[in-house]
Amino acid sequence: MRSILCFGDSNTWGYDAATEERLPWEVRWPGVLQRLLGPDVRIVEERLNGRSTMFDRPEQPSRNGNEVLPMLLETHAPLDDVVVALGINDLFVPGITPRWSARGIESILVTIERSGSGPAGAVPRILVVAPPPITTLPEHWAMDAPGATAASHDLPAAFRYVCEPLGVPVLDLTGVVEPDPLDGEHFTAEGHAAIAAAVAAALVPA
């Protein structure tokens, strides 16, 4: 059975801007991906609200993705694929630019490649998912990260800059899905379905 780890933040967790609660498993993009890929695939959903690539957030402890990733890779090994869907929360850390967020993605790729968490100790296939640009944040979020909206437009190119030399594909969700206008960052049920379809198409066949 093919095992795919989906490693992400609140948009993998399934945060619903309308209710501030969690969308059901069958609505979240990993759950939709499971349905699209069928019973011969096992989707492992590892997600946390506020998770960054490699940066500590004093107001939200334990959000450093690269810090917990080695344990998660070992927990769920062997893994055929790892889908990395992070980056937006980096822009809410003071001083972190898209370039530094890309360095965070790079650190995650190195962690995966060194983990031996694929079948027979090999390296799992990796897909990096670049989020679409933020639209209009609620005022209290915008005050915490005044440059996040503008910076979010530069994440896909920054991710490609570090991923392409390593041969890691980047799925740019710009044009695939738009954030829910209620908060400018998270996705509706329809958005999750669109993400799942794009990820399914981007995954290398087993």
Tokens of 75: 């927990």
d(CA 6, CA 42): 11
| Residue type, position 165, single letter | P
At residue 131, the pLDDT reads 98
Distance of CA 104 to the CA centre of its chain: 12
Helices then strands, counting H and E runs in the chain, come out as 8, 7
- Quote the pTM value: 0.96
SS (H, E, C) 143-196: HHCCCHHHHHCCHHHHHHHHHHHHCCCEEECCCCCCCCCCCCCCCCHHHHHHHH
Domains by residue range for the chain, with CATH: 2-202 (3.40.50.1110)
Pairwise CA distance, residues 63 & 58, whole Å? 9
Question: Are 85 and 11 contacting, i.e. CB atoms less than 8 angstroms apart?
Answer: yes
Alpha helices in 15-147 (DSSP H): 29-37, 65-76, 98-115, 139-144
What pLDDT score was predicted for residue 130? 98
Q: What amino acid occupies position 186?
A: H
pLDDT in tens, the chain (206 residues): 999 999 999 999 999 999 999 999 999 999 999 999 999 999 999 999 999 999 998 778 899 999 999 999 999 999 999 999 999 999 999 899 999 999 999 999 999 999 999 999 999 999 999 999 998 876 766 667 778 889 999 999 999 999 999 999 999 999 999 999 998 899 999 999 999 999 999 998 86
For position 147, what pLDDT does the model report?
Answer: 84
pLDDT at 143: 64
